[in-house]
Structure 1
Amino acid sequence: MEDIKALNKACNNKIAFDNQSDSDSSPNVFDARIEDGKLNYDKKWFHRGQPVLIKSKDGSEFNAVLASIGNSEIWLKKTTDNSKFRIFLSNLQKGKFTLQRRAS
């Protein structure tokens, strides 16, 4: 009888552990895709030449303009110093960077 109780207790602990690990391992996934030279991010369309606000995961943010949109990357031009930099589509999907529209 004690063996059955020990087995049931072990099975219940394993089920509870499995449920906790599933909720912790699901990352925040953002919808980001490129179609016809336009970026669809968070149910909004972005196009070349559009002013945007970039926020990174570490808390920094800056203004930029979409310089070009490739197959798996976007090139942005900072408005402060006109330097160009690249953000991969996978980084947007993982949430490392976020895009927001900005007024012209």
Structure 2
Amino acid sequence: MTTMGGGWTTIQRRINGSLSFDRDWSAYKNGFGSPEQDVWVGNGLIHLLTKENSALYVSITLQNGTTLYEMYDRFSVSDEAGKYQLSLAGPATGTLGKCIQLKF
């Protein structure tokens, strides 16, 4: 991956929507799908990956071909006991935030 200097891990990908993301707790904990197609790597793995300083880069391509992105300087997900709570910190930059507002 070469985006913003590379070194990123894909945690979710939806290419064509053929895989249902309507899943239970266990599926989201352990992950599902295929890395070559639609995938969710699993909250447990995301927790482990974000124990150290991690950044989050979100990229969305709209049906008209426009790509929007947002970059968060600090990103972590708590463990299962903490219900895999998402934490974002630091300034966010990009074009996605101008279109939607994430509320946690």
What TM-score range do you get, normalising by the shorter chain? Answer: 0.3 to 0.5
Pair member with larger Rg: 1
- Report 1 or 2 for greater relative contact order, CA contacts < 8 Å, sequence distance ≥ 6: 1
Is the strand fraction higher in 1 or 2? 1
